[in-house]
């Protein structure tokens, strides 16, 4: 196992997280002489760059690049082009890796059919509200069959977060789409599958992600996921998975069913029956998690699940209007960020 590996980390203003992120790669079980850690910094204005430079003094395999393009996909591509490593792993500055993270990714890519590998992400937060939101983001009711949130078995999937890619495959299919504010990895993984390569999810590949700590940030995050998912579908003429359409259907049901129920008692009864079923499911999963974790989570979970579903669905609807009706790709330019 002598593959060279580069970790590419786009970031901006991550002084509270970048140190632990980099240290998790400094302490990998994979041979240090085969590993490069590349930070594409979007011209941070806090102490992020100083934290990186301090670690550079002791570790010559840490590389700091100026991402003057500012956006996350531009930072990813900048890092990829800077290295000729056999394997490229994209990682988030708001996260840290298990000590065997790189080793298990390399092992997964030993299968010649696999072009991209990824693993299980554990979402955490230091506050009660944030911890409850993290639990909602790790629950099938909250995120559907996004297996990288909770999988226990190895499986082939349609996408992974923090993917590890064969360089030869990236040279074949191209790098990240720099137009996209969100869903860059989904779009790239769409092309991985179209090339005939497989995407492997392995629970042995472990990382931890610091999730959103308040409802406003959670809403914005999933609204953007829904909005930019439309652009990915538009580019490839179809969704990668049916789960991407379910929040859209849910929001259309809430609005359309609510309007139609004023004209028909039958529709009204059916509408409130389905809405009641959703509320029961929300309560069931909220209670289930609260009893196993902490009863303090209950209120936050009850609120988090609808936020995940409604914000994504509304974002999807606005994306449909933006990309198909108004034919624009610029409406969300102001939301670009280099952190993941």
CB 71 within 8 A of CB 45: no
Under the phi-then-psi rule, with left for phi > 0, alpha for psi from -120 to 50, and beta for the rest, what region is 327? left
Best-predicted range by mean pLDDT among 23-27, 155-159, 229-233?
A: 23-27
- 271-276: which pairs have CB atoms within 8 A and are 24 or more residues apart? none
Rounded Cα distance, 303 and 316, in Å: 20
pLDDT for position 335: 44
pLDDT tens profile 42-88: 999 999 999 999 999 999 999 999 999 888 999 999 999 999 999 99
Rounded Cα distance, 164 and 305, in Å: 30
176-193: average pLDDT? 87
Rounded Cα distance, 211 and 216, in Å: 13
Rounded Cα distance, 11 and 221, in Å: 16
Give the global pTM. 0.84
CB 132 within 8 A of CB 297: yes
Average pLDDT of the residues of the chain: 89
Under the phi-then-psi rule, with left for phi > 0, alpha for psi from -120 to 50, and beta for the rest, what region is 32? alpha
Task: Using the predicted structure, report yes or no on whether residue 334 has a pLDDT greater than 50.
Answer: no
Under the phi-then-psi rule, with left for phi > 0, alpha for psi from -120 to 50, and beta for the rest, what region is 197? beta
Distance of CA 127 to the CA centre of its chain: 21
CB 14 within 8 A of CB 337: no
pLDDT for position 236: 78
Rounded Cα distance, 322 and 15, in Å: 35
């Amino acid at each position: 196992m002598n593959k060279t590996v580069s970790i590419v980390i786009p970031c901006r203003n991550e002084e509270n997280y970048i140190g632990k992120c980099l240290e998790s790669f400094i302490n990998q079980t994979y041979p240090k002489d085969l590993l490069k850690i590349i930070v594409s910094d979007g011209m941070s204005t806090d102490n992020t760059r100083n934290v990186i430079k301090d670690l550079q003094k002791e570790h010559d395999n840490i590389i700091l690049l100026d991402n003057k393009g500012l956006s996350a996909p531009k930072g990813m591509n900048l890092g990829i082009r800077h290295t000729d490593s056999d394997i490229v792993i994209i990682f988030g500055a708001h996260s840290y890796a298990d000590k065997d993270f790189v080793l298990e990714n390399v092992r997964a890519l030993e299968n010649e059919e696999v072009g991209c590998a990824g693993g299980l992400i554990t979402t955490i937060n230091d506050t009660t509200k944030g911890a409850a939101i993290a639990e909602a983001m790790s629950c099938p009711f909250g995120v559907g069959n996004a297996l990288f949130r909770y999988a226990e078995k190895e499986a082939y999937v349609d996408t992974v977060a923090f993917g590890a890619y064969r360089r030869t495959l990236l040279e074949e299919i191209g790098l990240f789409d720099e137009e996209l504010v969100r869903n860059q990895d989904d779009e790239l993984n769409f092309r991985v599958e179209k090339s005939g390569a497989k995407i492997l999810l392995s629970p042995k590949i472990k990382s931890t992600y610091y999730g959103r700590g308040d409802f406003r940030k959670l809403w914005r995050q999933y609204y953007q996921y829904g909005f930019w998912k439309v652009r990915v579908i538009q580019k490839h003429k179809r969704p990668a998975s049916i789960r991407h359409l379910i929040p859209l259907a849910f929001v259309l049901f809430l609005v359309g069913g609510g309007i139609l129920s004023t004209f028909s008692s039958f529709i009204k009864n059916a509408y409130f029956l389905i809405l009641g079923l959703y509320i029961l499911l929300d309560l069931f999963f909220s209670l289930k998690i609260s009893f196993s974790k902490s009863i303090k989570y209950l209120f936050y979970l009850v609120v988090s699940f609808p936020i995940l579903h409604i914000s994504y669905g509304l974002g999807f609807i606005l994306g449909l209007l933006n990309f198909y009706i108004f034919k624009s790709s610029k409406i969300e330019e102001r939301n670009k960020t280099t952190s993941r």
